[in-house]
Each structure stands twice: as structure tokens, then as C-alpha cells.
Amino acid sequence: MKELIRTNDAVLLSFIEVLLNDARIPHQVADTHMSILDGSIGILPRRVLVSDEDYSAARRVASAADIELPDDDGD
């Protein structure tokens, strides 16, 4: 699994999930329960993870929606 984006913006997270679902790209949102531990005030970011095989497609989908992603580290 590779990290597509890390954010504490709940709206952005939901938007990315909708985009990935529409593109039928399997994904996982990690650290959801950790953000609850901080009292749900949004201090701890959540990560959107996709498989290595779907990573490029997921980046294309996000970029097409004008979502700024961190630079690809090439892993």
C-alpha cells in the first residue's frame, strides 16, 4: 500500500473517497481511530492508502479534480 495523501481536512478526505469509489479504485483510510483519540478536533491527520498497482491511477484521478498531492517519492 502507498500513501496517496495525508490530511486532517474531513471534506477533502470525503471528496477523495468519492473520487476513488467512482473510479473503482480500492482504498483504505488509515488512522481514523487515532483521530478520534484526539477528541475529534482534527489534530491527527488521516491517510488515504491505495495499492501499489492503483497508485498511478489514483494520482491521476486526484490531479484531474485539482487536488494537490505531495510529490511522488518514487517508492
Contacts of 47 (CB under 8 A, 6+ apart): 3, 4, 5, 6, 29, 30, 31
On the question of pLDDT at 3 being above 70, the answer is yes
Mean pLDDT calculated for residue range 51-70: 96
% of residues, the chain, pLDDT over 70: 85
Under DSSP, the state recorded for 36 is H
Which 3 state secondary structure label does DSSP give 68? coil
- Which CATH number belongs to the domain containing residue 30 in this structure? 3.30.70.790
> Which residue in the block uniquely carries the three cell numbers 477528541?
39
Range of the domain at 20: 2-64
Q: What integer pLDDT is reported at residue 28 of this predicted model?
A: 97
Count of domains in the chain? 1
Report how far residue 49's alpha carbon sits from residue 3's, in angstroms, rounded to the nearest whole number.
5
- Answer whether residue 70 is part of any domain: no
pLDDT per position as a tens digit, 23-59: 999 999 998 777 566 666 667 889 999 999 999 999 9
Q: What integer pLDDT is reported at residue 40 of this predicted model?
A: 60
